[in-house]
Amino acid sequence: ARLLGPAHPTMLRLLAAGAVLNNCRDPVAIEVLREAGRQPNRGIALAAAQMIQKYLGVDMGLPVGGQKPAANSREAAEVARNVLRWASETPSQSSAETPADSNVPVSDAAFF
C-alpha cells in the first residue's frame, strides 16, 4: 500500500494498484489508475487500461485475453483516449449509477 504514494514512479504505482485491486476494490488504488490515465504517456495508458478492464470491468477497447496493441498503433491511440475519458470522469459519474430497482421520488406523476 505504501507503493501507491506519489513519491514512487507511475509504473511502480500501477503495479502496486493492480496487486491491491486483485484482492479488493480499494479507492486509493482506483485513484492511482485515474492519475496514471491522465498522464500523456501511451505506454502508461495501455498498462492502466489493462488494469481498469481486468479489475474494474470497464471496457477500454482492449482484446479480452489478448496482448496489448503496439504503443504506436491506431488501436493504442483509441485505448489511450478511452482511458483519459474514464480518468477524467468524477468517481460518482463512473461508479455510482442509480440502480434499476431504486425508488426515485416522484413529485408529479403527470410528467411520466
* Domain limits, the chain: 2-89
- What is the predicted pLDDT for the residue at 64? 82
pLDDT lower than 70: segments of the chain = 1, 92-112
Rounded CA-CA distance 85/67 in Å is 22
Q: Which amino acid is at 74?
A: R
Alpha-carbon torsion, ordered 76, 82, 84, 86, to 10 deg: -150
**Are the C-beta atoms of residues 14 and 5 closer than 8 Å to each other?**
no
Q: Is 10 exposed, middle or buried (0-12, 13-18, 19+ CB in 10 A)?
A: middle
Question: pTM value?
Answer: 0.77
